Amino acid sequence: MRLLLSSLFVAVVAASCIQHTTQEEQESEKFRPQKQIEIKYAEGFEVEYTADYTKIVTHSIQNNEFFRDSVYIQHTSSAKLDGLKKIPFTLSSVASQSTTHLAFLDCLHELETVKGLCGVKYIRNDSVSSILEKNEIKELCLTESVQIESLLDCNPELFFNYPFGKTEQKGFAENGVQTLYIAEYLEQTQLARLEWIKLFGLLFNKVEEANAYFERVEDNYLSLRQKSQSTNKKFIMNLPFGDSWFMPSSKSVGVEVIRDAGLDYYYQREEGTENQIHTQEQVWNDGIYADYWVIIADRPVGYGLEDLLAEKEVYAEFKAVKEQQVIMCNIAEVDYFASGVVEPDVLLRDMLFHTHQISDHQPKYFFRLE
């Protein structure tokens, strides 16, 4: 009898001890310090690491309109973060103003956390849209602006948005929605843009995956770039709108990839990050001499060379058309602006293929128009 009672006593004490330890471990699980990331290219975000929290700051670059935003990932219960934006160790529900962000989330396999999005109908990637459909995510923007009610409805822990439309920001904060400016598009190189995946890695506690992904793509890109040779050929880009032809700035990431493939930009100018606006007649004048014509545009699915020539007769006189060097990315067929961000190595590989510098490749974004 006494043996039974004492065994029972020991068991109870042992059990409570065990519970106690587990609870402590659980405590430290929640607030384990973040793995750190190394930022090599990106200029638009910074991270501050302390024992209590990790602070992520996004801000404007150089001459862009000023903005600054931050969010804190809490590590310990003693962190003094009153009145600041805090998020848990790993996010479980988010919303986004841009379909581009979803590409980052897709790489990290975190699409399930998306509860609301602006422009659901514009998603072209089938695998992405099927996941979103399955989870019945909410459309946040019926017109140009974000609907507060829809946003509150999906109750995200964090809402990724653009840094313009600052008046809307106040509205979100007042309603208790935490937002973070994501401005990857302001980065001036492909690799800098891609590097934002590390920021998302921090937010979703998937730093290793993010780093692995980035390093793999970075390696690919750099080795491809090294392989490419200057062709001494020039290219023009895109299509006109009315009488104006918006030629991307020579500093834009679209131009960067094509230049990295060895082509020279016809409108290479060092000043400014704004798009250059030319009249149609100027580009027609130059198109007679340009060796390559790279088009990134929204056209009906199945758009071909005859469709291009049907738009304007004068295109038939372009050197690129005559020599069959019109390379097009039809954004109605492939989601250049979204998934292109996370696959610059594929973009570069496509261009190297079309400039006949590599042969064993199936293009994904750019196709020769025939």
Partner 1 sequence: MKNNRDIFTLVGILVAAFCLLGLNLYLGEVRINFGTIVDLLGGGTAENASWSYTIENRLNRSLVAFSGGGALALSGLILQVFFRNPLAGPGVLGISSGASLGVATVILGGVGMSSLLGNLGLISAGIIGALGVLILLLIISRLISSSITLLVVGLMFGYFTSSLINVLFQWASESDTREYVIWGLGSFEGLNGKEGWFFLVGVLMISLLTVFLIKPLNALVLGTSYAGSLGVNLKRSRLLIIIICGILTAVVTVYCGPVSFIGIAVPQIIRFIVRSKNHLLILPITFLAGSALALLADITVRLSGNALPLNTVTALIGAPIIVWTIIRMNKTGAKV
Tokens, residue 161? 């948005």
In angstroms, what is the minimal distance from the CB of 155 to partner 1?
26
The reply on whether position 142 binds partner 1 by CB under 8 A is: yes
For partner 1, the closer CB: 208 or 281: 281
The reply on whether position 162 binds partner 1 by CB under 8 A is: no
Output b/e per residue, 254-278; b: 16+ Cβ within 10 A.
Answer: bbbbbbbbbbbbbbeeeeeeeeeeb
For partner 1, the closer CB: 207 or 296: 296
For partner 1, the closer CB: 13 or 277: 277
The reply on whether position 86 binds partner 1 by CB under 8 A is: no
DSSP string spanning 278-341?
Answer: EEHHHHHHHHTT-SEEEEEE---TT--HHHHHHH-GGGGG-HHHHTT-EEEEETTTS-HHHHHH
Count of chain residues binding partner 1 (CB under 8 A): 21
C-alpha 347/C-alpha 216 separation (Å) is: 15
* Stretch near partner 1 under the rule CB under 8 A, chosen from 21-29, 183-191, 228-236, 279-287: 279-287
The reply on whether position 279 binds partner 1 by CB under 8 A is: yes
* Stretch near partner 1 under the rule CB under 8 A, chosen from 84-92, 226-234, 309-317, 348-356: 309-317
For partner 1, the closer CB: 163 or 287: 287
Closest CA to 201 of 212, 190, 192: 212
Using CB under 8 A, pick the residue from 133, 215, 274, 317 that binds partner 1. Answer: 317
C-alpha 56/C-alpha 47 separation (Å) is: 5
The reply on whether position 234 binds partner 1 by CB under 8 A is: no
- Exposed, middle or buried, 60 (CB in 10 Å: 0-12/13-18/19+)? middle
* Stretch near partner 1 under the rule CB under 8 A, chosen from 65-73, 108-116, 277-285, 350-358: 277-285
Q: Which residues partner with 39 through β-bridges?
A: none
- Cα 20 to chain centroid distance, Å, stands at 44
C-alpha 119/C-alpha 210 separation (Å) is: 26
In angstroms, what is the minimal distance from the CB of 297 to partner 1?
11
Using CB under 8 A, pick the residue from 178, 188, 252, 282 that binds partner 1. Answer: 282
Residue 18 has what DSSP assignment? Answer: H
244-247 and 276-279 beta bridge pairing: antiparallel
In angstroms, what is the minimal distance from the CB of 281 to partner 1?
4
* Stretch near partner 1 under the rule CB under 8 A, chosen from 88-96, 230-238, 311-319, 344-352: 311-319
* Stretch near partner 1 under the rule CB under 8 A, chosen from 32-40, 145-153, 154-162, 237-245: 237-245
* Stretch near partner 1 under the rule CB under 8 A, chosen from 87-95, 166-174, 181-189, 272-280: 272-280
For partner 1, the closer CB: 37 or 328: 328
Give the footprint of partner 1 on this chain (CB under 8 A): 142-143, 241-244, 277-282, 284-285, 287-288, 298, 312-314, 317
